[in-house]
Amino acid sequence: MIRFEDPWLFIFLVFIPLMIYRQWKGAGKNSIRFSSLDTVRQLQKPWFRFLRHLPLGLRCLAIALLVSAMARPQSGITSSEVLTEGIDIMLCLDTSGTMQALDFTWKGERQNRLQVVKRVVDDFIRGRKNDRIGMVVFGAEAFTQCPLTLDYGVLLSFLDRVEIAWRGIPPPSAPRWPPA
């Protein structure tokens, strides 16, 4: 539903009929007088004759749009309640030195355990809808990498930055939640 903040400004639309009346009233003043109209009547009426009214029509349209804009149209506040069901999932990723083992092969290339886990978790996150997912990384200590969130893009960016901990401490480039 649209409402106007200042509807009283629509009174200025009264100028449009006045402009039209004044244009047609003054149309005879600029005419050319002939002693005989026979020659003029024999002329074919061009198909673009309506263009002579175009400037007046554009002026009227401009005034109507200007008055409408000045009246400040506003849409009403609408709210909708979306009911979805989801679960809270907390992912726990091991970043200890044991994740460096090259146990897996993917596309002919040997992969360490953390690379495989990150790929599997990435696929898992992309397959979820309406679930809040968070992530904890641990080596010698556990850190909340990302709290529960519905923003899967942020979660995936945190997942990309997970690295194997050096002596149980996460690398300095690895972000932690809350930021220090």
Angle formed at CA 147 by CA 165 and CA 115, multiple of 5 degrees: 40
With bands split at pLDDT 50, 70 and 90, how would you rate the model's confidence at 137?
very high
Bond preceding residue 46 cis, omega within 30 of 0: no
Query: In whole angstroms, what separates CA 91 from the centre of its chain?
Result: 31
Q: Do 160 and 93 meet the contact criterion of CB atoms below 8 Å apart?
A: no
In this predicted model, what pLDDT tens digit does every residue of 107-135 receive, in sequence order?
888 999 999 999 999 999 999 988 999 99
pLDDT tens for 20-34 read 888 877 765 656 665
Tell me the whole-structure pTM to 2 decimals. Answer: 0.49
Distances from the Cα of 15 to the Cα of 7, 11, 18, 24, 60, angstroms: 16, 8, 5, 14, 9
Provide the 8-state DSSP code for 99: G
Q: Which of 6-15, 53-62, 165-174 has the lowest mean pLDDT?
A: 165-174
* Domains of the chain, first to last: 2-75 (no CATH), 88-160 (3.40.50.410)
